[in-house]
């Protein structure tokens, strides 16, 4: 009898232990869930983004995209600094009013100014849209001279007043050389942090392949824009693929028309900006703004696995391109840094195109240097 009672006590004690263990696990699980929920609710520090030329067409399209999260993600608060020239001050004021009226949840503040120092203060990302456009009858040197003075002043202000890790994207043409000028006058900004926009051309190339094969644009990847953001750029599909039935196939194989790929396709991408001006009587704004968001987003948040994008970056001599040029390469991005994709096979046709656009950049660099002197 005593043994039976002892067995009963032990069994009851074991059962009680199990109940306590289950309760302990439930409490621990609930605490973990609450902690994770608090982490999700915890608001990130705002990132300050500068947009120059903000009252212009591209700027007007770009700032709401940034405020909505298209550039830095749907959970990243932003403070917008908008800069433009004195004659555009009233228009800039109107853009600020519209941003306030739109009530963007991610927008934590707006500065609209014609003062370059105020605009550059503590910025983490600078999107340089403002520049002097080439007008009828102007020589290339005249345009370059105007942009040298603009970018000299803005580079100095960025160097003195921007955040130490500020990332710079130059959009205004000639974008590659404007970026080089900016680098010249902001030597303390790391060369890895100064880039120019060729993502627009990259996206145009993706779009043309998508239209040609009637596939979704998201299934096309790894086109390349080599060189200058100009009519000498080289849109290259030799390493591009399309996902078909969960398998990746080469673009050249699926298009099966080298004549089109080596001629009409290249010319269409090179001349797309001019075609849009002819159709709209205005330059590309929406697509340029979208491409700027794509460029910064991938740079900061990273590119998808086994996917590269095109960025105008400081050449280190890769693929035989003269070091010291801002040249468009295929890059991957991770943790805020870009890396040029290495080891791609370059055929004779591509080599010729890549060298021609590099030569144009060398000439532009020489021209900019003469303006500086």
Burial of 27 (0-12, 13-18, 19+ CB in 10 A): exposed
Q: Is 346 left (phi over 0), alpha (psi -120 to 50) or beta?
A: beta
Catalytic residue, chosen from 81, 202, 229, 239, is: 229
Q: Is 173 annotated as a binding residue?
A: yes
Q: Is 53 annotated as a binding residue?
A: yes
Q: Is 58 annotated as a binding residue?
A: yes
Q: Is 171 annotated as a binding residue?
A: yes
- 163 neighbors 189 (Cβ within 8 angstroms): no
Q: Is 269 annotated as a binding residue?
A: no
Q: Is 57 annotated as a binding residue?
A: yes
Alpha helices in 111-261 (DSSP H): 116-120, 140-161, 175-185, 199-213, 251-255, 258-259
Q: Is 351 annotated as a binding residue?
A: no
Query: Prior bond to 250 cis, omega within 30?
Result: no
- 182 neighbors 176 (Cβ within 8 angstroms): no
From residue 191, how far is each of 111, 153, 166, 297, 339 by CA, in Å?
A: 27, 18, 11, 19, 13
- 196 neighbors 172 (Cβ within 8 angstroms): no
Q: Is 172 annotated as a binding residue?
A: yes
Cβ-count burial 2-18 (b if 16+ within 10 Å, e if not): eeeeeeeeeeeeeeeee
Catalytic-residue membership of 161: no
Q: Is 134 annotated as a binding residue?
A: yes
Q: Is 212 annotated as a binding residue?
A: no
Q: Is 302 annotated as a binding residue?
A: no
Q: Is 84 annotated as a binding residue?
A: yes
What's the token pair of residue 251? Answer: 């673009």
**Which sign, positive or negative, has the C-alpha torsion 343, 348, 349, 353?**
positive
**Integer-rounded Cα radius of gyration of the chain:** 26
- What count of Cα atoms within 13 Å lies in the side-chain half-sphere of residue 310? 30
Q: Is 55 annotated as a binding residue?
A: yes
Known binding residues for NAD(+): 53-59, 84, 147, 171-173
Which residues are known catalytic residues?
229
Q: Which residues are annotated as a binding site?
A: 53-59, 84, 134, 140, 147, 171-173, 204
Q: Which residues are annotated as a binding site for substrate?
A: 134, 140, 173, 204
């Amino acid at each position: 009898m005593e043994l039976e009672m002892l067995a009963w006590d032990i069994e009851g004690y074991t059962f009680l232990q199990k109940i306590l263990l289950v309760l302990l696990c439930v409490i621990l699980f609930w605490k973990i869930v609450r902690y994770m929920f608090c982490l999700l609710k915890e608001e990130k520090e705002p990132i300050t983004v500068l947009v120059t030329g903000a009252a212009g067409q591209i700027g007007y399209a770009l700032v709401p995209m940034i405020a909505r999260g298209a550039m830095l993600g749907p959970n990243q608060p932003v403070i917008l600094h908008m800069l433009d020239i004195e004659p555009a001050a009233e228009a800039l004021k109107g853009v600020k009013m519209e941003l306030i009226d739109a009530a963007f949840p991610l927008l934590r503040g707006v500065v609209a100014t014609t003062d370059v120092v105020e605009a550059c203060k503590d910025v983490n990302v600078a999107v340089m849209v403002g520049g002097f456009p080439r007008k009828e009858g102007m020589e290339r040197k005249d345009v370059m001279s105007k942009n040298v003075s603009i970018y000299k002043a803005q580079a100095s202000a960025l160097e003195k007043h921007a955040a130490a890790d500020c990332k710079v994207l130059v959009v205004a043409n000639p974008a590659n050389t404007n970026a080089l000028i900016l680098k010249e006058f902001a030597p303390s900004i790391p060369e890895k942090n100064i880039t120019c926009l060729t993502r627009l051309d990259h996206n145009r190339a993706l779009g043309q392949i998508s239209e040609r094969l009637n596939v979704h644009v998201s299934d096309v990847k790894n086109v390349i824009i080599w060189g200058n953001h100009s009519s000498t750029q080289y849109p290259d599909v030799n390493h591009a693929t399309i996902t078909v039935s969960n398998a990746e196939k080469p673009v050249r194989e699926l298009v099966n028309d080298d004549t089109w790929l080596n001629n009409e396709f290249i010319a269409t991408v090179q001349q797309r900006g001019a075609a849009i001006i002819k159709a709209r009587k205005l330059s590309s704004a929406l697509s340029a703004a979208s491409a700027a968001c794509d460029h910064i987003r991938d740079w900061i948040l990273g590119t998808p696995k086994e996917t590269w994008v095109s960025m105008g970056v400081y050449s280190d001599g890769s693929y035989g391109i003269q070091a010291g040029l801002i040249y468009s390469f295929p890059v991957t991005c991770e943790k805020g840094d870009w890396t040029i994709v290495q080891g791609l096979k370059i055929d004779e046709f591509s080599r010729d195109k890549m060298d021609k656009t590099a030569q144009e950049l060398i000439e532009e660099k020489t021209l900019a240097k003469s303006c500086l002197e």
